[in-house]
């Protein structure tokens, strides 16, 4: 295949990836919305609702390392397609069971466990395949489109799910999921997962699981860029739980907004995410992604202070508070996207093909593992110290961590390492050609 043909195929991949991602995420979000409401309506129990959330987090944390190992060892396309088919089968089994015996909470929990495992397998493997699907110059576009798809789904799914829930049964939600993932599977099956695959032979493929994961750990440890980004991501996943817990707590308990207006503010935040994704998709490649992320992180840390300001200083009317927190949510989600997308680009460009599955899996395992821990901690902190102190202190911590981990000397080392990796890749590509 000529260089021009490869570029045309990569362009096709970009379009298919975006459509497939949007369809699958939209379907998943609609079903998650419907199941959550169904469980709350059926049981009226927060505990039952929490168990459902755990069923979608714990399997991901436990199985991600194994999935990453498989993604580096076996054919990525086969893994993606087979895991998507198993996802469809899992949902179909629950649908058949519901028609046969009637829907039950336990059946939903069991389905959610297997569903999470299979969607994690397809998600991690597909993420690890991006460098093989598109050329290096358009990785930023793919990562931005990925974020754009999730943003559109975040806006559309609750609206569609809310309308459907009032008119259809939970079985219809399952049918929507089956259709969405079937379409996504058919689209992904048309892509060439070896378009930009390197032919270099890696001895790690014959290593057993534990030794292979250990070699991935050493791979990260010996690279300043990866090590810094992963440490930074872990810290942020912990401290940004202040937002995931705090937004609802502040708006509902402290400011006492009506639930409808809280939903509007969250929708405004989703629009901010959408616009930031469009901006990063349309603009030229970032010359220095890590410095761009650093500026976005400083903006995020300042939003903690902005969020706390009306609680300690400003006295605003209900309407003024609504506008204030709507603008704050908009800026916050924009800053989050401008932090996450450049980091994703750096990871895609700096991780060797033979390590991508394991590194992304370790990244997801550690990040997902920090979320429930952070939520528990911040739930206690908000109750004990109050929102203003928690938000201000967290903002100071995030600013300090960013300032330390991304200090000028570290940024210089990371840039030198990236230049070296790019030079090595060019030499390798020439050898292959």
Which residue in the block uniquely carries the two structure tokens 């509902």? 252
**pLDDT given for residue 201 in this prediction:** 43
Residue 424 pLDDT: 64
State residue 96's pLDDT score: 93
Query: Rounded to an integer, what distance in angstroms lies between the CA atom of residue 160 and that of residue 150?
Result: 15
pLDDT under 70: residue ranges of the chain: 1, 44-47, 49, 198-206, 259, 314, 420-433
Half-sphere exposure of 25 (CA within 13 A, CB side): 19
Q: For tokens 């259709």, what's the residue?
A: 179
- The whole-number pLDDT of residue 421 equals 66
Count of CA atoms in the C-beta half-sphere (13 A) of 197: 14
How high is the pLDDT of residue 203? Answer: 42
Does an H or E element contain 109, and which? Answer: helix 105-133
Closest-CA residue to 118 (of 154, 70, 82, 167): 82
Tell the residue number behind the tokens 């409401």, with chain if given: 37
- Give me the pLDDT at residue 422, please: 63
Mark 146-161 as b/e (b = at least 16 C-beta within 10 Å).
bbbbbbbbbbbbbebb
What is the structure's pLDDT at 258?
79
Q: Name the CA dihedral angle for 237, 238, 241, 243, rounded to a multiple of 10 degrees.
A: -80
> DSSP letters of 133-168?
HS-GGGHHHHHHHHHHHHHHHHHHHHHHHHHHHTTS
Give the separation between CA 210 and CA 358, rounded to whole angstroms.
Answer: 11
pLDDT value of residue 353? 80
What pLDDT is recorded for position 375?
Answer: 74
d(CA 227, CA 126): 22
Q: Give residue 430's pLDDT.
A: 56
- Residue 190: the pLDDT is 93
Q: Mention every residue, 6+ apart, whose C-beta is less than 8 A from residue 111.
A: 90, 91, 93, 94
Measured CA to CA in angstroms, residue 285 lies from 144, 281, 346, 395, 402 at distances of 11, 9, 12, 29, 23
The reported pLDDT for the residue numbered 148 is 83
């Amino acid at each position: 295949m000529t260089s021009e043909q490869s570029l045309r195929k990569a362009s096709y991949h970009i379009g298919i990836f975006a459509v497939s991602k949007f369809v699958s995420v939209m379907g998943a979000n609609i079903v998650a919305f419907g199941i959550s409401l169904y469980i709350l309506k059926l049981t009226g129990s927060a505990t039952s609702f929490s168990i459902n959330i755990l069923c979608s987090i714990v399997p991901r944390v436990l199985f991600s390392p194994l999935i990453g190992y498989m993604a580096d060892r076996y054919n990525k396309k086969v893994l993606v397609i087979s895991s998507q088919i198993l996802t469809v089968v899992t949902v179909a089994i629950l649908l058949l069971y519901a028609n046969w015996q009637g829907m039950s909470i336990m059946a939903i929990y069991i389905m959610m466990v297997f569903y999470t495992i299979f969607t994690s397998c397809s998600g991690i493997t597909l993420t690890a395949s991006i460098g093989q699907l598109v050329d290096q110059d358009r990785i930023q576009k793919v990562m931005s489109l990925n974020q754009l798809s999730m943003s559109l789904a975040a806006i559309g799914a609750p609206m569609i799910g809310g309308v459907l829930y009032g008119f259809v049964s939970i079985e219809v939600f399952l049918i929507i999921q089956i259709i969405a993932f079937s379409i996504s599977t058919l689209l992904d099956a048309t892509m060439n997962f070896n378009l930009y695959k390197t032919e270099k032979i890696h001895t790690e493929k014959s290593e057993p699981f534990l030794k292979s994961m250990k070699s991935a750990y050493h791979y990260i440890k010996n690279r300043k860029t990866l090590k810094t980004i992963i440490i930074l991501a872990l810290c942020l996943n912990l401290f940004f739980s202040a937002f995931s817990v705090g937004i609802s707590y502040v708006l509902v308990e402290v400011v006492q907004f009506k639930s409808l207006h809280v939903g509007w503010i969250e929708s405004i935040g989703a629009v901010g995410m959408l616009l930031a994704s469009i901006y990063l998709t349309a603009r030229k490649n970032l010359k220095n992604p890590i410095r761009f992320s650093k500026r976005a992180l400083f903006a995020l840390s300042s939003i903690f202070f902005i969020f706390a300001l009306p609680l300690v200083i400003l006295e605003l009317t209900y309407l003024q508070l609504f506008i204030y927190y709507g603008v704050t949510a908009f800026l916050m989600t924009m800053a989050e996207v401008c932090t996450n997308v450049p980091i994703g680009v750096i990871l895609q460009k700096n991780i060797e093909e033979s390590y991508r599955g394991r590194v992304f899996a370790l990244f997801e395992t550690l990040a997902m593992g920090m979320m429930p821990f952070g939520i528990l901690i911040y739930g206690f902190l908000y109750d004990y110290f109050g929102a203003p102190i928690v938000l201000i202190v967290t903002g100071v911590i995030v600013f300090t961590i960013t300032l330390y981990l991304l200090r000028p000397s570290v940024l210089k080392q990371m840039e030198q390492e990236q230049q070296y990796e790019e030079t090595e890749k060019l030499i390798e590509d020439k050898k292959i050609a």
